[in-house]
Amino acid sequence: MNALLLTDGYKTGHHQQYPEGTEIVYANWTPRSTKYAPKGSEKIVSFGQQYVMKWLHEYFQLHFFSQPKSKVCSEIKEELSLYLGVDYDGSHFEKLHALQFLPIQVKSLPEGEEVSVRVPMLTVVNTDKEFYWVTNFLETIISTMLWQPMTSATIALNFKRIFKKWALKTDEDQIGFIDFQGHDFSMRGMGGMESVLASGMGHACVFHSSDTLPVISGMRHYYHAKGFVVGSVNATEHSVMCAGTKEDELGTFKRLMETYPSGVLSVVSDTWDLWKVLTQYLPLLKEEVLARNGKLVIRPDSGDPVDIICGALEEEWKGSVQGRGVIEALWDVFGGTVNAQGFKVLDAHIGAIYGDSITTERAEQICQRLHDKGFASTNVVLGIGSFTYQYNTRDTFGFAMKATSVVVNGERREIYKDPITDDGVKKSAKGLIRVDKVNGEFVWVDQVSEEQEALGALKTMYKNGQFVNEINLTTIRQRINNCL
């Protein structure tokens, strides 16, 4: 696709609509509201800026600057003439092609930090007066790509906070386990590969556990990841269990453990009757499980996850395996130890994972109920899927990129929006902006001078086709862990 199509159609005429003599357009990207955000999301993780700008830079290089001018500019002239019903003048695009780079300066807050609502996280300004129109021409694609990695990283951090809180209460010696306690199962339910990568990397900057394989290449390419990026385990799916037949499910368990005599093996266990697996098959397999050089992980993924993992509270289930739940049922068969804090930890050869419709609320409930029953929260891994990561939009945190300053005929104008019919959420900053970190919190001030704008926490990451101050995955993860 021609890179010049990566915008809203109405922006294709804006180069003619700014006041005559416009030289500079300065815009910022800001989260404006948590009105639609998940509970507990008071701040937003700064993540994805380097990914988005590298992707955008590479796309323009491949699909515009490296292509013959006659080809890409004639194509866009033809398409926009049809689109707008006019003889479209694309000479400004021809001038951009001749320049051979995007004439913008992009500044960003550090990735891996948490930012309060209404604090600008990114600014964009053109560096060549002739290309004042480029700043907001790029608004659409930046907005398209940047809201999701920030949103998923923020949600992932909320999960990790829950896991840390309960691990400290119930199994503090295994606090490192929380890096792997939230597992990304979302890929199949996301809205295409860009969504998979954006959200998956947001998850992976917080957790080390994921089944979203494209994240590995993405983190290496965009964030200089070395060595281990994310990990998973050998695991079955329902088709494997079905192929082994319902009548021989016990045999399938045996065959799988023979195939994988060591390491972690996750077996989906509710293809038919989870409770039969827990009360009949696993007792028969007890010696084989305890003899393995590794852990057998039982994976149910249907029903209410809180009740399935922790046991149903209804009187009708009292005393039954349904009332005990997966963790207690596994304890009844395999036992374990009681740690120094007085909580039960399953034998190292057995465990559980649940990965269907997990939300932060359900994660909290699962950890709470395990605690109340005397079990450590680290007895279970929770899979986080598209139910959590895909059910979001740009409005989840009210993200928007708005111009707040222009220069016309050498005169700086502070501009802003403040709709009288709005509740204040859409009111923008005014003029140039500086962000500082004061007592560990990012704070912003607008209407600053050019000299003041050059200072503060917003640092140049991209200018005139060149990247500076690049960051790597290791540093981002360290910063995020400092936020816990």
Specify the pLDDT at position 423.
Answer: 80
Spatial CB neighbours of 205, under 8 Å, sequence gap ≥ 6: 45, 47, 111, 112, 153, 156, 473, 476, 477, 480
Q: How much of the chain, in percent, has pLDDT values that exceed 70?
A: 100
What pLDDT does residue 41 have? 86
Please name which of 117, 113, 133 lies closest in space to residue 125, comparing C-alpha atoms. Answer: 133
Instruction: Identify the pLDDT of residue 266.
Output: 98
Q: Where in the chain is the domain with CATH 3.20.20.70?
A: 151-389
Closest CA to 483 of 50, 34, 116: 116
SS3 of 143, please? helix
Nearest to 209 by CA among 272, 255, 159: 159
Cα gap 5→218, rounded to integer Å: 24
For domain 3-149+399-483, say whether CATH 3.40.640.10 is its number: no
Angle at Cα 457 formed by Cα 452 and Cα 459, nearest 5°? 90
Q: Which long-range contacts (CB under 8 A, 24 or more apart) does 219-222 make?
A: 219/473, 221/54, 222/50, 222/51, 222/54, 222/55
The pLDDT of residue 418 is 84
Reported confidence tier of residue 419, pLDDT bands at 50, 70, 90: confident
Whole-number pLDDT of residue 427:
81
Q: Mean per-residue pLDDT for 210-229?
A: 98
* String of DSSP letters for 296-349: EEEE--SS-HHHHHH---SGGGTTSHHHHHHHHHHHHHH-EEE-TTS-EEE-TT
Report the candidate in 224, 288, 283, 231 with the shortest Cα–Cα distance to residue 254: 288
Which tokens go with 58? 């590479």
Cross-strand bridge partners of residue 268: 299
Residue 123, pLDDT score = 98
Q: Structure tokens of 137?
A: 């021409």
DSSP 391: S
Q: Give the bridge partners for 448, in sequence order.
A: 432
Long-range Cβ contacts of 278-281 (<8 Å, 24+ apart): 278/321, 278/326, 278/329, 278/330, 278/333, 279/321, 279/329, 281/249, 281/250, 281/253
Answer yes or no: is pLDDT of 38 > 90.
Answer: no
State how far the Cα of 310 lies from the Cα of 322, in Å rounded to an integer: 9
Tell me the CB-side half-sphere exposure of residue 407, using CA atoms within 13 A. Answer: 18
pLDDT of residue 426: 80
Domain 151-389 sits in CATH at: 3.20.20.70
Report the mean per-residue pLDDT for the chain: 96
Q: Phi first, then psi: what are they for 429, rounded to 5°?
A: -70, 175
Instruction: State the Cα–Cα distance between residues 205 and 46, nearest whole angstrom.
Output: 11
Pairing state between β 122-126 and 104-108: antiparallel
Domain with CATH 3.20.140.10 in the chain: 3-149+399-483
Q: Is the pLDDT of residue 422 over 80?
A: no
Q: How far apart are CA 131 and CA 124, in angstroms?
A: 13
At 39, the pLDDT band (50, 70, 90 cuts) reads: confident
Alpha-carbon distance values, 201 to 31, 98, 286, 353, 477 (Å) = 19, 35, 38, 22, 11
Helix axis angle, 321-334 to 282-291, nearest 10°:
40
Per-residue pLDDT at 425 exceeds 90: no
Segment 219-227 mean pLDDT: 98
The DSSP line for 217-254 is: HHHHHHH---S---B--EE--HHHHHHT-GGGHHHHHH
Contacts of residues 173-179 at CB distance under 8 Å and 24 or more positions apart, as own/partner, are 173/339, 173/340, 174/345, 174/376, 174/378, 177/378, 178/378, 179/207, 179/208, 179/209
CA–CA distance, 3 with 335 (Å, rounded to integer) = 60
What is the pLDDT at residue 417?
81
Average pLDDT over residues 348-377: 96
Using pLDDT thresholds of 50, 70 and 90, give the confidence band for residue 420: confident
Which contiguous run of DSSP H or E holds residue 444?
strand 441-448
Distance CA 24, CA 60 (A): 21
Lowest mean pLDDT among 103-112, 359-368, 416-425, 467-476: 416-425
Q: What mean pLDDT is predicted for residues 270-286?
A: 97
Residue 297: strand pairing partners: 266, 351
Instruction: Find the distance separating the first CA and the last CA of the chain, reported in whole Å.
Output: 41
Q: What is the pLDDT of residue 428?
A: 83
pLDDT of residue 22 exceeding 90? yes
The pLDDT tens digits for 121-171 are: 999 999 999 999 999 999 999 999 999 999 999 999 999 999 999 999 999
Whether 198 and 51 have beta carbons less than 8 Å apart is answered as: yes
Q: Across residues 58-78, what is the average pLDDT? A: 97
